[in-house]
Chains A and B, each alone.
Chain A
Amino acid sequence: MTQTLVRLDAPASPPRSSGRARVVAFWSLAVLVPLLFLGLFFAWPVAVMIGKGFVVDGRVDLSGFAEVFSDPRTWRIIGLTVAQASLGTTISVLLGVPGAYLLYRHSFRGRSVLRALVTVPFVLPTVVVGVAFRSLLVDGGPLGFLHLDGTFAAIVAALVFFNYAVVVRAVGGLWERLDPRAEQAARALGASPWKAFRTVTLPSLAPAIASAASLTFLFCATAFGTVLVLGGLQFGTIETEIWIQTTQFLDLRAAAVLSVVQLVVVAAVLVVAGRARSRRERALALSSQTSRPLSLRRPPGLPPGDGHAMSLAAAAVTAVVVVLIATPLVNLVVRSLHTPRGWSFDNYTALGTTGGSLTVTVWQAALNSLRIAVDATTIALLVGGLVALVVSRRPRRPAARRAVGGLDALFMLPLGVSAVTVGFGFLLSMHHPFGLPVDLRTSPLLVPIAQAVVAVPLVVRTVLPVLRAIDPRLREAAATLGASPFRVLRTVDLSLGLRAFGLAVGFAFAASLGEFGATSFLARPDRPTLPVVIFRLIGRPGPQNYGMALAASVVLAVLTTIVVATCEKLRTAGPGGDW
């Protein structure tokens, strides 16, 4: 530092007008655009749908509640929903925590492949999961001897299959960065590996576990496609019941009551999830990633009783889970190649036809799905990105902070509110919306918009943790270097947020490709999506239709997996999101 830097005599530019108006305008837009979107395409359709149930001849009529709640069928459905969600959540957590330990705290060959494999079910369309389990469990299927087809156990198994990744990724993401020295301190104070885990590590992980559990509960309680395919008429959730009441019994009042019930359940779970998340964002001692190599034999120099058994136990549990996850997937592929005249690609060849009962070929439906997904993803990224940006701010005024928190919770609602309600609400509300002489029901954007409503929460939950992890002083450093608020947004928030962007694109795309609840109402008969076509195929008799459904499911699963895998590749290493 001996060199002299010649100092120019002109100091930094003198203060000009601050451009504050533009900043205010930007943030106002950032709040208003998502709010308008949510109001128009979520709150209003849901309100119209619920209104239909409670407003009779222009008068509010709440007798529907008494009627629906006096029907034992309602209580049975609510009981079933809670039971299968609780069981599904408990098992997912019990299996997911050892999985997180193995996949995020140990290093071994093939770890990234395993991590990808356990994520596959989460992004699989629900209809595909349903079909995959059916084909495994039906009489004559590889596990037909268990006689599990159409049972409660099959539904719970499918839910665990679907949600295992939620727990593994959420808990693993935190565990990976948890400072191991707290646990080491406990060990040095005389705690056994198990006691150190129970008393130090587990409490640190508790917020992540609680947050993952509440999400899993939410996904289980509102599961639609999977349960509809697996449960038939005997088992169901509130969500499938809404669908049945709406489309089979045409009982809008019952559907409206059930929608309200579901809204209450979802809101309650979201409150719990929000609490868990805010506790999670409390400063935890995090370090850079630490993992130790996994070996089956005790590494030389490691004394007995030093935690090797725990690693082995976790490895064993996870190995079983991985086999269980792989079984339906492999079986789906195998069965799709198994035709009445032996092994052949007949089912795949048939995808180029309408199979006699469809309005379009399956390939055309796949193309529809992709086109719709591109539109839906674009909309979801725009809206979700803005929401994440706004919610990542920590305003100084308590009122503004509460408002930001409220916005966060508000945009989580579509995650749990019945997609069926949204879809049917769209049909009811988009015909002459607000008395305007247009019929939006024929708009090609209707399906993408409905799917975007479902995908927005996923985008927010993926991008938000990354934005929140940015040290506010980084923005301050940029500002003191002369960067305008917009340049700070571009060079700090956007640059770092892009790390999560790839994954957000992947999840939004996968959610759109697999969306079935709302799409089943909204897809025009001449432009069905792939999940709609699959559901139609399995509803029709004959081995040919069933074979086509299997092949189409494989195509949809492969499409989704490729998209998500590509997007995740684009993600640079950074702080882990919620999934």
Chain B
Amino acid sequence: MTLTIDDVVVRYGSATAVDRVSLSVHSGEVVALLGPSGCGKSSLLRAVAGLEPLAAGSVRWDGSSLAGVPVHRRGFGLMFQDGQLFAHRSVSGNVGYGLPRGASVDALLDLVGLAGFGGRSVETLSGGERQRVALARALAPQPRLLLLDEPLSALDRTLRERLAVDLRAALVATGTTALFVTHDHDEAFAVADRVGVMSGGRLLQVATPTDLWRSPASREVASFLGYEAFVHASAQAAAPLREALGSRLEDDATIALAEGAFVVGRAGVAKGTVTGVASRRGRSEVRVEVDGIGAVTALGPVGGRWATGDVVELGVEPDALAVLPL
């Protein structure tokens, strides 16, 4: 019950969308492919579904190749960003499409929180409701593997965050093995057991959300995850960071700083010049320029007031630091 993607290459004409990617997804596991748009993650997903031909490599299920198996025989579900509901069918007509005639869809509608919606026309649903129907429809035939292509990206932020939790709950509740594609870190981290970071058609790193955040494999992965500044471990400016990390560091390692690596007002170990202040969800985000490190975003206490040009004392938050092997 394992999906094995082995050295897969997908080409559109002369352009290579997926460049020798290998990955496996185990039974009951939810794996996210995270990357900026155009990184090849959707192409990889479509290749697994059988919608794009492989230029090289293989996709196997439990060790047997799927090369000769057409889309509808793979037993893989697919859910699109915009749902792709059948507008000429009702909600239950959509959900029941992959089921034997007359099968009940009530439990599925219940699962996605749409109990009683069966008779409605899909045209009357809101964006969030449509995606719930699409999810129920994809789960209905109990796919061996569910593929999700940016399932929440078309929704607004609040709805997206709520549905991400619901999506994870539905996948876990049904024990569904899932591979899903997104460009949103929070979504990937909220839904997946493991996250793979893709860029330029290559798969850069696959790890659990925690491991990925703690130890990005490269500067590229770290930047994509949101690490905003990098400093050589042996540099003088890195001294307070080395101290905060506490552990012994290789001299040629690089320390990556995420937002909040510096905290304004904590026992000062460094100094920075304020270049701007923003407020996000009540907390102050202070853009500071730190000598030898560059521009970083430090967190400040609620209600703090700073003016551009102020020099502030900065403490270090070790949880927002990562050590890169290079």
Q: Which of A495-515 contact B (CB under 8 A)?
A: 495-496
Contact B71 A476, beta carbon cutoff 8 Å: yes
Complex: A480 Cα to B144 Cα, angstroms: 11
Contact A479 B72, beta carbon cutoff 8 Å: yes
- Give chain A nearest CB distance to B218 CB in angstroms: 34
A282 within 8 A of B: no
CB-CB under 8 A from B166, the residues of chain A are 1
Contact B97 A481, beta carbon cutoff 8 Å: yes
CB-CB under 8 A from A485, the residues of chain B are 70, 72
Q: Which of A1-49 contact B (CB under 8 A)?
A: 1-5, 7-8, 11-16, 18, 20
CB contact between B173 and one of A5, A15, A495 (< 8 Å): that residue: A5
Known: A7-B142, A473-B80, A495-B88. A1 touches B173 (CB 8 A): yes
Known: A476-B51, A481-B97, A496-B88. A3 touches B107 (CB 8 A): yes
Complex: A3 Cα to B115 Cα, angstroms: 11
Contact A476 B78, beta carbon cutoff 8 Å: yes
Contact A4 B75, beta carbon cutoff 8 Å: no
Complex: A8 Cα to B53 Cα, angstroms: 31
Which residue of B is nearest A14, CB measured?
B75
CB-CB under 8 A from B213, the residues of chain A are none
B169 within 8 A of A: yes
Known: A477-B80, A491-B86. A1 touches B175 (CB 8 A): no
Contact A482 B141, beta carbon cutoff 8 Å: yes
B17 within 8 A of A: no
- Give chain A nearest CB distance to B160 CB in angstroms: 15
- Give chain A nearest CB distance to B298 CB in angstroms: 38
Contact B112 A12, beta carbon cutoff 8 Å: no
Which residue of B is nearest A10, CB measured?
B142
Contact B80 A12, beta carbon cutoff 8 Å: no
Contact B113 A1, beta carbon cutoff 8 Å: yes
- Give chain B nearest CB distance to A310 CB in angstroms: 32
A483 within 8 A of B: yes
CB-CB under 8 A from B97, the residues of chain A are 478, 481, 483, 491
Complex: A240 Cα to B22 Cα, angstroms: 69
Which residue of A is nearest B97, CB measured?
A481
A287 within 8 A of B: no
Contact B138 A471, beta carbon cutoff 8 Å: no
- Give chain B nearest CB distance to A476 CB in angstroms: 5
Known: A3-B110, A474-B84, A481-B141. A18 touches B69 (CB 8 A): yes
- Give chain B nearest CB distance to A497 CB in angstroms: 11
CB-CB under 8 A from A471, the residues of chain B are 84
Complex: A15 Cα to B71 Cα, angstroms: 10
Contact A5 B174, beta carbon cutoff 8 Å: yes
Contact A492 B86, beta carbon cutoff 8 Å: yes
Contact A1 B170, beta carbon cutoff 8 Å: yes
Contact B78 A4, beta carbon cutoff 8 Å: no
Contact B69 A481, beta carbon cutoff 8 Å: no
Contact A484 B72, beta carbon cutoff 8 Å: yes
Complex: A400 Cα to B110 Cα, angstroms: 46
Known: A5-B108, A18-B70, A491-B86. A482 touches B75 (CB 8 A): yes
> Which residue of B77, B84, B113 has the most chain A CB atoms within 10 A of its CB atom?
B84
CB-CB under 8 A from A2, the residues of chain B are 169
CB contact between B74 and one of A15, A474, A487, A496 (< 8 Å): that residue: A15
B49 within 8 A of A: yes
Known: A13-B75, A15-B74, A491-B97. A5 touches B111 (CB 8 A): yes
Q: Which of B114-169 contact A (CB under 8 A)?
A: 137-144, 147, 166, 169
CB contact between B70 and one of A1, A20, A474, A478 (< 8 Å): that residue: A20
CB-CB under 8 A from A482, the residues of chain B are 72-73, 75, 98, 141
Which residue of B is nearest A479, CB measured?
B71
Complex: A5 Cα to B111 Cα, angstroms: 7
Complex: A480 Cα to B143 Cα, angstroms: 9
Complex: A14 Cα to B68 Cα, angstroms: 13
CB-CB under 8 A from B180, the residues of chain A are none
Contact B88 A18, beta carbon cutoff 8 Å: no
- Give chain A nearest CB distance to B48 CB in angstroms: 11
Complex: A488 Cα to B170 Cα, angstroms: 27
- Give chain A nearest CB distance to B13 CB in angstroms: 9
12 A-B pairs within 8 Å (CB atoms) are namely: A3-B110, A7-B174, A7-B176, A8-B142, A12-B141, A12-B144, A16-B73, A479-B51, A479-B71, A480-B72, A481-B97, A491-B97
Q: Give 20 A-B pairs besides A1-B173, A482-B98 with Cβ atoms closer than 8 angstroms.
A: A1-B169, A4-B173, A5-B139, A7-B174, A8-B142, A12-B141, A12-B142, A12-B144, A15-B66, A15-B75, A18-B70, A478-B72, A479-B70, A480-B147, A481-B98, A482-B73, A491-B86, A491-B97, A492-B86, A495-B88
Chain A residues near B (Cβ < 8 Å) = 1-5, 7-8, 11-16, 18, 20, 396, 471, 473-474, 476-485, 487-488, 491-492, 495-496
Chain B residues near A (Cβ < 8 Å) = 1, 49, 51, 53, 66, 68-78, 80, 84, 86, 88, 97-98, 107-108, 110-113, 137-144, 147, 166, 169-170, 173-176
